Amino acid sequence: MTDRRRYGDAGQAFPIYITVVAGLLFLALVYFAVGQATVNRSGAQTAADAAALAAAQDTRDQLAGEWVKAVLDPNEWQEILTGHGREVRSSCWRAAELAAQNDAHLLEGACRQHFLDYTVRVETNSPMGESVVPLTSTKHSKASATAVIEPRCDIGPPAADADAGALPVLTCHGEEWNLDPKNPTDLPEPQDLFDVHLADR
């Protein structure tokens, strides 16, 4: 009698065991799918960040180039430092380049410049992959980012002991640049004139 009960209990426990194992396996597959999606979304955000920064850095370099050309005309300095360079072209091509290097692409019309910032939106080239979650095999992650160009310099009057016709003193994060109008060779670099960073999300 005891043996029959033991075998009967074992037979009843077996379906429960199978159900529990199947449930755990399903949960493991779901966690794996969530992990795939997280990695894909992270890749999209990395591509968006890189694209926005690349576009902003290219524009920063263009503005710095214009500033160097206008170094003897201080009336132009403020315009350039506030992003109103006359010859600055869109740097969305750089955003597209960096997105492609990160296995993504810019969405149509999703690179916008507003003077000293760039906002981009990208989509990953690769889908999230096959999983137990429906539609992930064809779903692509999207992400957006904004990069900001900030002037680092203040324009002050010429030094008190400067000769007539001296250029204004340019102070960039505490460092003074006393430029010689007759020999303006020691000039700030683009990173001295402007800071480029991602906007807070």
Distance in angstroms (rounded) separating the CA atoms of residues 146 and 166:
39
Question: Which residue from 131, 124, 127 is spatially nearest to 33, judged by alpha carbons?
Answer: 131
- pLDDT (0 to 100) of residue 127: 80
According to DSSP, the residues that pair with 155 across neighbouring strands are 170
Domain spans in the chain, listed from the N-terminal domain onward: 2-147
- pLDDT (0 to 100) of residue 182: 80
Q: How confident is the model at residue 149 (pLDDT cuts 50, 70, 90)?
A: very high
Contacts of 40 (CB under 8 A, 6+ apart): 124, 126, 127, 128, 129, 140, 141
The separation between CA 74 and the C-alpha centre of its own chain, rounded to angstroms, equals 33
- pLDDT (0 to 100) of residue 150: 95
How, if at all, do strands 142-151 and 153-155 pair? unpaired
Question: Which residue from 157, 186, 152 is spatially nearest to 172, judged by alpha carbons?
Answer: 152
Distance in angstroms (rounded) separating the CA atoms of residues 152 and 57:
14
How, if at all, do strands 175-177 and 194-198 pair? unpaired
Question: Which residue from 185, 116, 128 is spatially nearest to 152, judged by alpha carbons?
Answer: 116
10: exposed, middle or buried (Cβ count in 10 Å: 0-12, 13-18, 19+): exposed
49-64: per-residue pLDDT in tens? 999 999 999 999 999 9
173-195: per-residue pLDDT in tens? 889 988 888 877 788 999 999 99
> Residue 95 pLDDT > 90, yes or no?
yes
103-114: per-residue pLDDT in tens? 999 998 889 988
